[in-house]
Amino acid sequence: LRAARNAAWLLEGVHDFAAFCRRESGRRTVAELERAIVRKAGSTIVMDFIAHHFLWQQVRRMVTAIVSAGCGRLDPDELREILERPEGRGIRPASPDGLFLVEVKYRGMRFPIDAAAKRRFLSYLSGSERLVCRAMAEMLNNKL
């Protein structure tokens, strides 16, 4: 996990995330990632990303970079280079399986969780034969 955590740490801060997003005409690619956390929860590796906003596919592409670093396919110098000079580079987005939005904070507003919707979603995930769904159910039970 050390290499993955180091990669997550390198992504924190203000960067040009052009290599980490699907480009949209007229949209700036410089953004701030406040926190990128890689942690273990049982047998599952969890990544938490905190920012004011995300670019299109940014989180999925950061997951690819962190997993690649954790597996030794992307070293810290390469990641720094991609962040410093993103032109012509692109990181492929990770699969959306296992990706879910946990919380939204907006200027002091609170978005309450609908208890019935949560129960239905957890029931659906828990009943799935797919390992990623069961892992998501476990994480959501602990988080929500």
- pLDDT of 35: 96
Strand ranges inside the chain, DSSP E: 13-16, 30-33, 35-41, 44-50
- Is 119 exposed, middle or buried (CB count within 10 Å of its CB: 0-12, 13-18, 19+)? exposed
What's the whole-model pTM score?
Answer: 0.82
101 pLDDT above the threshold of 80: no
What's 20's DSSP letter? Answer: G
What's 111's DSSP letter? Answer: -
**Helices 76-84 and 2-11 sit at what angle, rounded to 10 degrees?**
10
121 pLDDT above the threshold of 90: no
Per-residue confidence band for 57, with pLDDT thresholds at 50, 70 and 90: very high
Residue 70 CB partners (closer than 8 Å, separation 6+): 1, 3, 4, 7, 38
pLDDT, the chain, mean: 87
- Over residues 70-100, the pLDDT tens digits come to 999 999 999 999 999 988 788 999 988 777 7
**Helices 76-84 and 58-70 sit at what angle, rounded to 10 degrees?**
150
Between residues 144 and 65, which one has the greater pLDDT? 65
- pLDDT of 142: 67
Q: What is the mean pLDDT of residues 112-117?
A: 82
Domain boundaries in the chain?
A: 2-84, 111-144
56 pLDDT above the threshold of 60: yes
> Which one, of 8, 7, 17, 4, lies nearest residue 84 by Cα?
17
**Class of CATH domain 2-84:** alpha beta
